[in-house]
Amino acid sequence: MNYVRGKIRNQEHARTLRDYSGMAWGRITPTDIDGFVEFGDRIFVLIESKYGNAPLSVGQRLALERLADAIGRTRHCLLVVCTHSTQTNEEIPMHTCIVTQYRSGGIWRTPKSQTTLKEIVDQFKARFECEPLPQEAA
């Protein structure tokens, strides 16, 4: 079967809603990650996209921060929050999503100028491809 890398292979299955209402522990429920990329076991990128100016919930922010920071102890890790204006049932061209904030090295930052998801991942990858891993630098 021919497919394009990065495209969802089974779009009908991907449209299936997941109901986690039976998986609650007090106020804790599962969250999702919209994208994940790993480059050679050295660089990890976590992606969360939001429609418009929707913020991360407190719980989602904590979960993503903790995951990114834990990965960042042994690997280079970038957590990106980006925004899109794509309507429901339309494909979101993720590479064009605008970065609203990102986290690396345990610090949240806001881009100084308008930056797309593809641009920030390319910049991060270029910066850390040859750098020692965090545990090697210590």
pLDDT at 1 over 60: no
| pLDDT confidence band for 124 (50 / 70 / 90) | very high
Question: What's the whole-number mean pLDDT along residues 13-36?
Answer: 89
Residue in the structure block whose two tokens are 């042994």: 74
**Residue pair 65/86 in contact by the 8 Å Cβ criterion:** no
Cα 138 to Cα 17, 41, 69, 135, distances in angstroms: 44, 18, 16, 5
pLDDT of 113: 97
**Residue pair 94/49 in contact by the 8 Å Cβ criterion:** yes
Number of residues written out for the chain: 138
The model's pLDDT over 74-113, given as tens digits with 9 standing for 90+, comes to 999 999 999 999 877 788 899 999 999 999 999 999 999 9
**Residue pair 57/42 in contact by the 8 Å Cβ criterion:** no
pLDDT of 45: 98
pLDDT of 96: 95
Cα 78 to Cα 73, 85, 126, distances in angstroms: 12, 23, 13
Average pLDDT, the chain: 91
CA 63, CA 95: separation in Å to the nearest integer? Answer: 24
pLDDT at 53 over 90: no
Q: At 98, which helix (H) or strand (E)?
A: strand 98-104
